[in-house]
Chain A
């Protein structure tokens, strides 16, 4: 494939991933609302019709794999094109973020693997797993995605799982998440504008606008994502008292 073909793949898969992280961040912010919001939302995602959950998952997996494989090919070709470097190095206008895409990306893949093991497979900490399986009844709080009709239904306690996963006993997990989100900020502060250049949809005027938009989106993503481990670590979630560690099983479970 030609150099430009690979750039298009980077841009299109990057766009898919950016779309995903924006949606994921907005969904996650429900941690700051009544647990019903998160739990009903998670239940509905888990129970999407027509196997939609797996269609989306496989689509995202394909995008991540294509993004990484293409990035590796590009980096190898670029190294081959400049076998001997300079003894004096200078930077004229390239941003720090733009020159560190390969490194921020590499740490992000490590983060993605850990994150999936942590909250999707739930294989990292017994306490996180316990919090998830200590089912909780939906209280019937009115949410945007209509969980009132689910009142009384027993669902996995995703709200508590996340709160426990980021609690003070696992402080290092929260710190790792926050660092990873800072790297995502760097990656996207260049990437979101760069993908328009790669697709040929940018000029001098739009470069300035897109650079600014990229910065704003990247900052919003950082604040949105990092706030959850940060606030959970401090034990300051608005509904902190409703966090169930899974040790004391709710009465609804013991008395069917």
Chain B
């Protein structure tokens, strides 16, 4: 255990409800162990606030081990903080220095309205999945997994796409609030596999439509999403989605079916 502790200044976005105007409130918090996680530091802040009779800061979290995608927060301008390949819950206070001022904002995007403080509503991501991010299969009739041969390269790539935890950091970091990294990962993980192939074209058309309908912006291929993604989803999947959508669209124009 390191003996040295951190005294910090936190600028936290406070907003009572979706319609309310929010503002930054500055808090001092002392004696934070560098070994504590960022969320533990937030817990300590909330204990301090409750003791003072103030409302604790609302923030999303669940597993606290980087797999559920529930934690969010934009820390000093970067969703999940500056460390690569980490969620907010995996970020530790050793990444900060004594005396730092840390600005904590909610994920910002039109489709992600702030519910309270740092909590935003990310259900539009669910509606993109509902539009085509599945395969149609009768319950109980699944084939034995090994009965369908899949090459190692394809299986690995599909797993890379499936690593997406749906946290929405890609949307939050994108200056255009585009959800293309998320949508492309959820689309490609199925489009690459034999089980997903039969519905590939329909999936591409519907998921892109859902993405647009929810008011997400357009990708300008700048690559911020890939850099902010806590699980390292690659821009390659956006290219794959662009290709799959183009093919599906052309097929639809000339055959009417998708």
Interface residues of A (CB under 8 A from B): 2-8, 74, 77-78, 80-95, 98-99, 101, 190, 193-194, 196-204, 207
Cross-chain pairs A/B with CB under 8 angstroms, 20 sampled = A3-B211, A3-B212, A5-B249, A7-B242, A78-B218, A80-B215, A81-B178, A81-B217, A82-B110, A85-B108, A86-B105, A87-B103, A92-B224, A92-B227, A95-B222, A98-B223, A99-B175, A101-B220, A198-B242, A204-B236
Q: How far apart sit A43 and B83, CA to CA, in the bound complex (Å)?
A: 61
Distance in angstroms between the alpha carbons of A196 and B109 in the assembled complex: 27
A93 near B78 with CB under 8 A, answer: no
The reply to whether B243 and A81 form a contact with Cβ atoms under 8 Å apart is no
Give the residue name and chain of the B residue nearest to A83 (CB): B110
Using Cβ atoms and an 8 Å threshold, which residues of chain B touch A194?
Answer: 220-221
A95 to B218, CA, bound (A): 17
Partner of A7, one of B177, B218, B235: B218
Contacts A90-B76, A90-B77, A93-B224 given; does A78 touch B217 at CB 8 Å: yes
Q: Evaluate contact between B103 and A88: CB separation under 8 angstroms.
A: yes
- Assess A82 versus B223: contact at CB under 8 Å? Given A7-B242, A88-B103, A92-B78: no
Tell whether, in the assembled complex, residue A82 and residue B221 are in contact, meaning their CB atoms are under 8 Å apart: no
- Residue A78 contacts which of B177, B221, B227, B245 (CB distance < 8 angstroms)? B177
Q: Closest CB of chain A to B103's CB: distance in Å?
A: 5
Residues of chain B in range 172-221 having any CB-CB distance to chain A below 8 Å: 173-178, 180, 208-209, 211-212, 215-221
The docked-state distance in angstroms from the alpha carbon of A193 to that of B239 is 12
Chain B positions near chain A (C-beta within 8 angstroms)? 11, 24, 74, 76-78, 82, 103, 105, 108-111, 173-178, 180, 208-209, 211-212, 215-224, 226-228, 234-236, 238-246, 249
Residue of B nearest to A73 (CB): B218
Shortest CB-to-CB span from B175 to chain A, Å, is 7
The total of interchain contacts (Cβ-Cβ below 8 angstroms) comes to 135
A87–B242 alpha-carbon span in the complex (Å): 32
Separation in Å of the B168 CB from the closest CB of chain A? Answer: 13
Q: When the two chains form their complex, are residues A81 and B177 in contact, meaning their CB atoms are under 8 A apart? A: yes
A101 to B219, CA, bound (A): 13
Contact A81 B176 (CB under 8 A): yes
Query: Given contacts A2-B209, A81-B177, A82-B175, could you give 14 more A-B pairs where the C-beta distance is less than 8 Å?
Result: A74-B218, A74-B220, A78-B217, A81-B176, A82-B109, A82-B110, A88-B76, A93-B226, A94-B223, A95-B222, A190-B222, A196-B239, A198-B242, A201-B243
* A98 to B234 alpha-carbon distance, docked (Å): 18
* Distance, CA A196 to CA B224, complexed state (A): 18
Is B82 touching A90 in the complex (CB atoms < 8 A)?
A: yes
**Interchain CB contact under 8 A, A197 and B103:** no
Task: Let me know if A93 and B223 touch, CB within 8 A.
Answer: yes
Task: Let me know if A197 and B178 touch, CB within 8 A.
Answer: no
Shortest Cβ-Cβ A-B pairs, 6 listed: A200-B243, A81-B217, A90-B77, A200-B242, A92-B227, A78-B176
